Structure 1
Amino acid sequence: MSITIKDVAKQANVSVATVSRILNNLPGYSDETQQRVKKVIEELGYQPNAVARGLINRKTKTIGVLVPNVSDLFASEVLAGIEEQAHEFGYSVMICKTNHDGKRTINYLQALYEKRVDGIIIVSEFITLDYYKTIETNKVPVVLVATESEYPLPFIKVDDYQAAYDATTYLVKKGHADIGMIAGTESDVISTTPRIEGFKDALNNVGITVTKEMITFGDFSFKSGIEGMKNLLKNYPKVRAVFCASDEMAVGALSLLYKKGISVPEEISIIGYDNTATAEKAIPPLTTVAQPLYKMGKDSIQLLLNPTLKINQRYPHHIAERDTVRAYSE
């Protein structure tokens, strides 16, 4: 049977209210009483209930995180930063996998509110009107990571348009003209649309006309990278360089090319997006657009707990050069 606050109060010969005040560092008791209660707590092995304590001080020291998929390396990098900073501040983290399911997301938002979390971080999700209404109704602080919203919610992300523009320009400067793109989810206006626009504008600005055969869609996953590379080889057979909208898709493309005996970068160059751990582990190591995922996760905790903190919402990116892009001058 678990030890309750009533057991502590009875053993220490004080009221439940006194034990509660001591646990929450509130005044109204002597030093002698405090020492006696703490000794009983230690002897009985009492573990205060965080939610019950939160009813008094309005803090549960818990943060909820909504993420579409916890298994991919993109999410892992962000979550690592979130958990590290939360731990440093004395907070625990509840991770909820939404799977891009609207009903599940609403249910999680409501459940986290009922558990009295001190704030919610939403990673890489499109914020619908229903999500926003739930957030507004519950009055729980929310910060977005790797996404943004038309609604007034604080966010942290890179400029996807500029990053895609820079990645495509990088390929052009290496001497490439026949460039394809494996884009993300077609309906994703937050990440996919600006990356496609950056890709198109970078090519249009150097006089290369972008046709529909040059772009195929996936869902940012490894498997969709394989399928995307198949589609490009079929529909755009002269392709000699590919910009992938995630490292996972880029590694999928590398896998498909390896199985077909097409060498990278000698025959086809590949550039990814994210600079997750998979980019360094790929064979050959993947050139990619680096965004500071771990730092974005850490800073989201700071922004959540201190909304007046001046954190730059648009984070810098750069090209992490490795071995999957050939320069024709070489």
Structure 2
Amino acid sequence: MSSKRITIQDVARAANVSVTTVSRFLNARYEAMSKETKLRIEQVIEELNYQPNALAQGLKGNRSRMIAIVVVKLSYPFCVSLIRALSNTLTPAGYNVVVCETEGDPKREADVLKTLLGQQIDAVVIQTNGDNLAELETISKSVPVILVDRKFMLSHATHVLTDNYEASLEMTNHLYAEGYQEVFYITETPNAISTRSERMQGYLDSSLRCHRPPHVAIVRRGDDTSMRLVVERIKESVSKGSVALYTANALIFHEIYPLLHHVGWTAPKKLGLATFDEPDWINLISPSLTRVRQPVSEMGTWIANLLLQQFKTGYEQPAEMHVEILPSELIKGESTRLGREDGTASDTL
């Protein structure tokens, strides 16, 4: 089998189109392109295993000075804070941030990565569900690939995370130490997302060490029924003793809080409240909410400084995976101070 490198001319010839048409496809310029032509080019690229070399060319001195940030959802507080922190460091250094949203859809993420392969992007910072690791591996041969928030087995990438397990363990220990007899942990299905599985494991290990039965509830965000079922489960326990509710992230807390408020329980005496994450709206909650503050700004700044250093010294694909963990901080609010003797901080939810 020939080891000859496949060129854009080879793709054009096999697809029976011009080189210009293939170039437009690689740059996601589909305006004057029929669906049949687009599909044919895509199939030929896959069959020939063609890899555009625009990224490698950019590294030889013709950088675009563009950094791609690929996130699941732009409205997530974590993503907003991360983008802001990256921009605050990269923009003054003369780099532009290009933001892409995937909605957690593997196909959409694959399309985004394919488009980036055809661009002279200088680096990719991505929050991924892990469905396109082969594509990320290919990109890492030419430019830095930084996985943020979630860890996957990607050998030649840098992972920037927080200590999800340790922070969740500390949070749950705090709730039991305050005197709550039961702690309900509310999460989405972990699947292969390390963030979710590590936080849940921290909760489970704390419950085991404190000799308390675990109460894990799996919910679907956007599904009011699943949230209401959790509230009904909690009702049974609240009538018997002190209970705390701990959500795996602030997005879940944001959805379930109005239902708890409607029941009219008092915090922290009737129901303790805690969450992982510290969104912008946290100060609207009364009493003050116990939460885990992720070092999102620090993560963004760390990534930006790493990229600037790599651009300065010249990028080489890492020989092995590097994991950088920045610690989170437990913020103890009034919403879980069950051990207080003065009876304060018991406002109605």
- Normalising by structure 2, what TM-score? 0.71
Change (3 A) 1:74 1:282: farther
Instruction: Write out per-residue CA displacement over residues 82-104 of structure 1, whole angstroms, 9 at most, x where no aligned residue.
Output: 11111122111111110111111
Q: Distance in 2 between matches of 1:84 and 1:227?
A: 41
Aligned counterpart, 1:132: 133
Instruction: Write out per-residue CA displacement over residues 149-195 of structure 1, whole angstroms, 9 at most, x where no aligned residue.
Output: 11222111112111111110010111112110111333243111111
Instruction: Compute the displacement of 1:328 (Å).
Output: 3.2
Pairing partner for 2:213 from 209, 214, 230: 209
1:238 has 2:244 as partner: no
2:330 partner letter: I
Q: Distance in 2 between matches of 1:157 and 1:280?
A: 25
1:250 partner letter: F
Residues 110-189 of structure 1 mapped to structure 2, 5 A cutoff: 110-123=114-127, 125-128=128-131, 131-138=132-139, 139=141, 140-152=143-155, 153-189=157-193
Instruction: Write out per-residue CA displacement over residues 34-90 of structure 1, whole angstroms, 9 at most, x where no aligned residue.
Output: xxxxxxxxxxxxxxxxx9x95972311000011000012121111111111111221
- Does structure 2 retain, via aligned residues, the 8 Å contact 1:291–1:318? yes
Q: Distance in 1 between matches of 2:299 and 2:328?
A: 12
CA-based RMSD of the aligned residues comes to: 2.5
1:253 has 2:251 as partner: no
Q: Distance in 2 between matches of 1:164 and 1:57?
A: 45
Instruction: Compute the displacement of 1:134 (Å).
Output: 1.2
1:135 partner letter: L
Q: Distance in 1 between matches of 2:59 and 2:82?
A: 30
Change (3 A) 1:78 1:218: farther
1:88 has 2:92 as partner: yes
Instruction: Write out per-residue CA displacement over residues 254-307 of structure 1, whole angstroms, 9 at most, x where no aligned residue.
Output: 221111212222311111112221222323332101111111112112223335
Instruction: Write out per-residue CA displacement over residues 8-46 of structure 1, whole angstroms, 9 at most, x where no aligned residue.
Output: xxxxxxxxxxxxxxxxxxxxxxxxxxxxxxxxxxxxxxx
Pairing partner for 1:321 from 332, 339, 348: 332
Q: Percent identity?
A: 23
Q: Which segments of 5 or more consecutive residues in structure 1 lack a partner in the other structure?
A: 1-50
- Does structure 2 retain, via aligned residues, the 8 Å contact 1:182–1:229? no
Q: Which sits farther off after the overlay, 265-274 or 131-140?
A: 131-140
Instruction: Compute the displacement of 1:244 (Å).
Output: 0.7
Change (3 A) 1:251 1:135: closer
Q: Distance in 2 between matches of 1:182 and 1:278?
A: 20
Residues 290-309 of structure 1 mapped to structure 2, 5 A cutoff: 290-307=293-310
Change (3 A) 1:325 1:300: same
- Does structure 1 retain, via aligned residues, the 8 Å contact 2:90–2:304? yes
1:180 partner letter: F
Task: Kindly report structure 1 stretches of 4+ aligned residues shifted beyond 4 Å.
Answer: 53-56, 226-229
Aligned residues: 269
- Does structure 1 retain, via aligned residues, the 8 Å contact 2:159–2:323? no
Instruction: Compute the displacement of 1:312 (Å).
Output: 7.6
Q: Distance in 1 between matches of 2:184 and 2:129?
A: 26
Pairing partner for 1:279 from 253, 266, 282: 282
Q: Distance in 2 between matches of 1:55 and 1:314?
A: 28
Change (3 A) 1:271 1:192: same
Q: Which segments of 5 or more consecutive residues in structure 2 lack a partner in the other structure?
A: 1-54, 316-321, 342-349
1:257 partner letter: L
SS at the partner of 2:63? coil
Instruction: Compute the displacement of 1:205 (Å).
Output: 0.2
- Does structure 1 retain, via aligned residues, the 8 Å contact 2:292–2:328? yes
SS at the partner of 1:59? coil
In our comparison, the structure showing a higher alpha carbon Rg is: 1
- Normalising by structure 1, what TM-score? 0.75
- Does structure 1 retain, via aligned residues, the 8 Å contact 2:276–2:293? yes
Q: Distance in 2 between matches of 1:305 and 1:56?
A: 16
Q: Distance in 1 between matches of 2:225 and 2:289?
A: 19
Change (3 A) 1:104 1:201: same
Change (3 A) 1:81 1:250: same
1:233 partner letter: V
Q: Distance in 2 between matches of 1:203 and 1:282?
A: 27
SS at the partner of 1:295? helix
- Does structure 1 retain, via aligned residues, the 8 Å contact 2:186–2:219? yes
Instruction: Write out per-residue CA displacement over residues 104-136 of structure 1, whole angstroms, 9 at most, x where no aligned residue.
Output: 11111121121210000002x2323xx222123
